[in-house]
Amino acid sequence: MTDLHLVNTAEGEMHATAWAKVNLALHVRARRADGYHEIETLFAFVDSGDTLTARVADSDALTVEGPFAEGLETGDDNLVLRALRLLRQHFGEARVPPLALRLEKNLPVAAGIGGGSADAAALARLVRAHFLPDTSESAFATLVGTLGADIAACVASRSCLGRGTGATLAPLPGAGVGGMPILLVNPRQRVATGPVFAAWDGIDRGPLYIGSDLRAELIGARNDLQRPATAECPAIADVLLELGALGPWLARMSGSGATCFALFDAPAQRDAAAATLAELRPDWWQMKGVLR
């Protein structure tokens, strides 16, 4: 499955999608001496997200538009431009030319669903597809993954298990989660990742186990950041309460919040839930999709 395509060849535009990342479960096991945490997580990706457009140019540039563009940095510290510079430093200017980039920001920021990591990963996939097709995906994931713990998972954008800081990846056993209908909901409140991890109570509640009965094992799993994130953003509790009343087989917070998700048995159930929630809470952001 690919999200990359070259269109409008007369103008040379290239496009990539930054698929929304979801942590279907997130177990925090320990604090590390380097300030990170040992985690075990099940990454999954929704079939929609931000859109990145690129064109070869005289110099690198980034513009951001879309419903969540306000306040986003477009200078050198932006993670997309950092990823581009890193790839150029590694592979050379002759192979990674300057790019004029346009990011359509459809996903909320500081929301636990990938954000800048997914955007940087989309840039990496775009560069690989159009300029470095002979370089392996794993090499790109390892290189760009140095910029953030979940970027490696976002490069592949396939469901997988993450351990360590989240950068040590392993495939899911069995059929995986592809095709599951999902509804994402965010109360339009930003939640910073660092303070949520810092507020984790330090209790190891046990490992994440994913085996032959994925549904039962997901129901029995947890997100250990849900409690500290809710203390930071009480609206998370409201989102989960509303989602749980709409008939999903699983409702949980993703990442460090504040986005929550609900998994349904059928698209019609998801769509009915989305319509109901839109009437009840028109101020909340939501996105329907299926897991890739």
Per-residue confidence (pLDDT) for residue 243, from 0 to 100: 98
> What's the token pair of residue 44?
């999954």
Average pLDDT of the residues in 144-155: 95
For the cut 70, the answer to whether the pLDDT of residue 203 exceeds it is yes
For the cut 60, the answer to whether the pLDDT of residue 133 exceeds it is yes
Phi, psi of 117 (to 5 degrees): -65, -45
Catalytic machinery residues: 21, 150
206-258, pLDDT tens digit by residue? Answer: 999 999 899 999 999 999 999 999 999 999 999 999 999 999 999 999 999 99
Q: Would you place residue 175 in the very low, low, confident or very high pLDDT band (cuts 50, 70, 90)? A: confident
Average pLDDT of the residues in 165-172: 94
32-64, pLDDT tens digit by residue? Answer: 999 899 999 999 999 999 999 999 999 999 999
For the cut 90, the answer to whether the pLDDT of residue 141 exceeds it is yes
In percent, the amount of the chain with pLDDT more than 90 equals 92
Per-residue confidence (pLDDT) for residue 32, from 0 to 100: 95
Q: Is 91 helix (H, G, I), strand (E, B) or coil?
A: helix
Q: Is the dihedral of CA 52, 58, 59, 61 positive or negative?
A: negative
For the cut 70, the answer to whether the pLDDT of residue 11 exceeds it is no
Indicate the CATH number of 5-171 among 3.90.320.10, 3.50.50.60, 3.30.230.10, 3.40.190.10. Answer: 3.30.230.10
Is the Cβ–Cβ distance between 225 and 191 less than 8 Å? no
Mean pLDDT taken over the chain: 94
Per-residue confidence (pLDDT) for residue 48, from 0 to 100: 97
Per-residue confidence (pLDDT) for residue 174, from 0 to 100: 78
Q: Any bridge partners for residue 13, and if so which?
A: 7
Q: How many CB atoms lie under 10 A from the CB of residue 224?
A: 25
> What's the token pair of residue 213?
């009965």
Is the Cβ–Cβ distance between 87 and 129 less than 8 Å? no
Identical fold between 5-171 and 181-290: no
* DSSP of 190-236: ---HHHHHHT------------S-HHHHHHH--BTTHHHHHHH-THH
Say how far apart CA 234 and CA 286 lie, in whole Å: 18
Q: Would you place residue 100 in the very low, low, confident or very high pLDDT band (cuts 50, 70, 90)? A: very high
> Rounded to two decimals, what is the model's pTM?
0.94
Per-residue confidence (pLDDT) for residue 10, from 0 to 100: 38
Buried b (16+ CB within 10 A) or exposed e, 204-216: eeeebebeeebee
Say how far apart CA 81 and CA 187 lie, in whole Å: 29
Q: Any bridge partners for residue 14, and if so which?
A: 6, 54
Per-residue confidence (pLDDT) for residue 83, from 0 to 100: 97
Scan for tokens 């409008």, then name that residue: 8
For the cut 60, the answer to whether the pLDDT of residue 280 exceeds it is yes
Scan for tokens 């009480």, then name that residue: 234
* DSSP of 219-284: HH--BTTHHHHHHH-THHHHHHHHHHTT--SEEEE-TTSS-EEEE-SSHHHHHHHHHHHHHH-TTS
DSSP state of 9: T
> What's the token pair of residue 84?
């581009």
Residue spans per domain, the chain: 5-171, 181-290
For the cut 90, the answer to whether the pLDDT of residue 3 exceeds it is no
Residues 6+ apart with CB under 8 A from 83: 120, 121, 123, 124, 144, 147, 151
Report the range of poorest mean pLDDT among 151-160, 172-181, 220-229, 230-239.
172-181
Average pLDDT of the residues in 96-122: 97
Query: Which CATH architecture best describes the domain 181-290?
Result: 2-Layer Sandwich (3.30)
